[in-house]
């Protein structure tokens, strides 16, 4: 069975200033998602599921989904702050979504096969989809607890417009042992990659240090773990307006308890995206070059 691609497209880009998911950045108005879907199809994914907010469904269907007809089966699910387990009611002051792992839970009724999950506003590069598709396609039928993530080289994920936050991966024999979130990763005066740790000390990162860009691979049992862990999360965080249920939090928990393993897949792909509005011209130029050099055809869909 071919794996499914699950695309997180429910968030607003506050630092960017708009709906990055619908921004036409390619030569013919292609969105970043268009490139991800094109690469996923060619890598061997068999279906795409999008999680979006209900309030921009019409725009999403007309501007995005219509172009994929005849290329790959597509389904849409919706994320709402009110979609909580029985016994919990969303506090009225809660506006912010519950996080990436809550968004992932929205796919539990439509995904029954190994699947990968990505952000809608990140360009991951073709090789990253190839290594993930190969990993998921080669899992024995009925596999559980066999997870994976694409480990990008941090030097291939930087922004020239400002600092970035990255999940720095700790590994043993190619398996993930932990993800440490590092904020404000940037360049120093020597163009070395640095961040300031919790003690206020400036630390350097090697170019090849693997980081998570939220490109994960899961077997379907991950949904049951997510449901159980979300209940525990809500018991502690229901009334904290900014608390979020993140994918790395649960993956770390399952790995530490020995309930799952997570393979870190290496890739030479270079990430780019529109973290800041100042990133946009550079992204437009990169896509133009990728078309000009034949990486992508003039018209993808």
pLDDT greater than 90 at residue 21: no
Which pLDDT value is given to residue 99? 92
Which pLDDT value is given to residue 162? 86
Whole-angstrom distance, CA of residue 284 vs CA of residue 287: 5
Q: Tell me the β-bridge partners of 168.
A: 180, 211
Please name which of 120, 118, 159 lies closest in space to residue 276, comparing C-alpha atoms: 159
First to last CA, the chain: 24
pLDDT greater than 70 at residue 20: no
Which pLDDT value is given to residue 58? 85
> pLDDT-derived band of residue 15, with 50, 70 and 90 as boundaries?
very low
Which pLDDT value is given to residue 12? 44
Whole-angstrom distance, CA of residue 226 vs CA of residue 139: 21
Which pLDDT value is given to residue 37? 97
Q: What is the DSSP letter of 13?
A: B
- Using a pLDDT cut of 90, give the percent of the chain over it: 76
The two tokens of residue 275 are 């973290």
- Convert the pLDDT of each residue in 87-123 to its tens digit: 999 999 998 889 999 999 999 999 999 999 999 989 9
The SS3 call for residue 84 is coil
pLDDT greater than 50 at residue 14: no
Which pLDDT value is given to residue 13? 45
> What does the pLDDT average to over 113-139?
96
The SS3 call for residue 146 is strand
Which pLDDT value is given to residue 17? 44
- Convert the pLDDT of each residue in 151-205 to its tens digit: 999 999 998 888 999 999 999 999 999 888 898 999 999 999 999 988 889 999 9
The two tokens of residue 2 are 């071919």
Which pLDDT value is given to residue 90? 95
> What does the pLDDT average to over 226-254?
94
Whole-angstrom distance, CA of residue 182 vs CA of residue 210: 12
Distances (CA, A) of 149 to 10, 39, 146, 199, 248: 21, 17, 11, 29, 10
Cα dihedral sign, 115-288-208-9 = negative
Whole-angstrom distance, CA of residue 83 vs CA of residue 106: 9
Percent composition of the chain: helix, strand, coil (DSSP 3-state, to 5): 30, 25, 45
Sequence-distant (6+) residues with CB within 8 A of 132 are 3, 43, 116, 148, 150, 215, 217, 265
pLDDT mean across residues, the chain: 92
Which pLDDT value is given to residue 203? 93
Residue that has been written with the tokens 């133009």 in this structure? 288
Which pLDDT value is given to residue 19? 61
The two tokens of residue 235 are 């018991």
> pLDDT-derived band of residue 290, with 50, 70 and 90 as boundaries?
very high
- Convert the pLDDT of each residue in 47-84 to its tens digit: 999 998 888 888 788 878 889 989 999 999 999 999 99
**pTM attached to this predicted model:** 0.91
The two tokens of residue 112 are 């029954």
Q: What is the DSSP letter of 16?
A: T
């Amino acid at each position: 069975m071919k794996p499914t691609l699950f695309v997180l497209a429910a968030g607003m880009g506050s630092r960017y200033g708009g709906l990055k998911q619908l921004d036409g950045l390619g030569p013919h108005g292609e969105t970043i998602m268009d490139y991800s879907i094109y690469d996923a199809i060619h890598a061997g994914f068999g279906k795409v599921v999008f999680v979006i907010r209900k309030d921009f469904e019409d725009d999403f269907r007309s501007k995005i989904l219509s172009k994929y007809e005849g290329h790959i089966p597509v389904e849409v699910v919706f994320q709402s702050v009110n979609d909580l387990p029985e016994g919990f009611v969303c506090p009225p002051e809660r506006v912010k979504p519950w996080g990436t792992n809550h968004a992932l839970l929205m796919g539990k009724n439509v995904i029954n096969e190994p699947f990968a999950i990505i952000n809608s506003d990140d360009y991951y590069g073709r090789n990253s989809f190839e290594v993930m598709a190969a990993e998921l396609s080669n899992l024995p039928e009925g596999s559980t607890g066999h997870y994976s993530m694409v480990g990008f080289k941090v030097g291939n994920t930087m922004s020239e417009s400002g600092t970035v936050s990255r999940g720095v991966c700790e590994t043993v024999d190619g398996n993930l042992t932990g993800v440490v979130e590092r904020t404000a990763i940037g360049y120093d005066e020597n163009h070395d990659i640095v961040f300031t740790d919790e003690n206020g000390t400036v630390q350097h990162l090697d170019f090849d240090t693997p980081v998570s860009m939220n490109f994960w691979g899961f077997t379907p049992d991950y949904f049951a773990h997510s449901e159980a862990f979300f209940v525990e999360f809500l018991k502690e965080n229901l009334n904290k307006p900014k608390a979020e249920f993140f994918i790395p939090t649960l993956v770390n928990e399952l790995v530490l308890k020995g309930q799952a393993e997570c393979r870190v897949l290496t890739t030479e792909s270079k990430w780019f995206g529109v973290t800041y509005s100042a990133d946009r011209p550079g992204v437009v130029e990169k896509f133009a070059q990728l078309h000009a050099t034949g990486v992508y055809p003039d018209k993808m869909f």
